[in-house]
C-alpha cells in the first residue's frame, strides 16, 4: 500500500489517497482507490470488477458515440464553412451598400446646392 499527499489548490487542503493492489488472482490485478476527506461520490471498489456484458455494452455505447461525433464533426465543419461564407458576403455587400449610401449622400448634397443656386436666380 502506498500513501501520497496531494495538495488541492482549490480548497487548499491536503488529501491522502491510498492505493491498494489486490493480488487474489495472478491474472486479475485489481486496483482499489480510496480517498480520505474526499467530497466526491464513493469510488468504485475495484476497477477490474466489470463483467463482460457490462464492458461490452459500455464499449458498444462508446463506439456508437464515437460514430455520432464523427458525423457531427463533419456537419460542424460544413456549418463553420458556411458561416465563413456568409460573413464574407456580409462584408462584401456592406461595403457595396456603404458605397451606394455615400453616392446618394453626394447626390443629395448636389441637389441641395442646385436648388440654392436656382433660388438665388429666380
> How do residues 25-69 score in pLDDT, each as one tens digit?
555 555 554 445 444 555 454 445 568 999 999 999 999 999 999
Average pLDDT in the 1-26 region?
51
This prediction has a pTM of 0.43
> Predicted confidence band at 16 (pLDDT cuts at 50, 70, 90)?
low
Ramachandran quadrant class, 37 (left: phi over 0; alpha: psi -120 to 50; beta: rest): left
Closest CA to 50 of 69, 30, 36, 35: 30
* pLDDT score, position 68: 97
Amino acid at each position: 500500500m502506498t500513501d501520497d499527499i496531494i495538495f488541492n489548490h482549490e480548497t487548499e487542503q491536503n488529501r491522502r489517497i491510498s492505493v491498494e493492489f489486490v493480488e487474489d488472482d495472478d491474472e486479475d490485478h485489481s486496483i482499489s482507490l480510496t480517498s480520505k476527506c474526499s467530497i466526491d461520490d464513493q469510488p468504485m471498489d475495484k476497477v477490474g470488477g466489470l463483467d463482460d456484458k457490462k464492458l461490452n455494452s459500455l464499449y458498444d455505447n462508446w463506439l456508437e458515440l464515437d460514430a455520432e461525433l464523427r458525423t457531427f464533426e463533419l456537419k460542424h465543419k460544413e456549418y463553420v464553412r458556411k458561416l465563413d461564407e456568409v460573413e464574407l458576403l456580409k462584408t462584401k455587400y456592406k461595403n457595396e451598400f456603404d458605397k451606394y449610401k455615400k453616392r446618394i449622400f453626394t447626390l443629395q448634397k448636389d441637389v441641395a446646392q442646385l436648388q440654392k443656386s436656382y433660388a438665388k436666380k429666380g
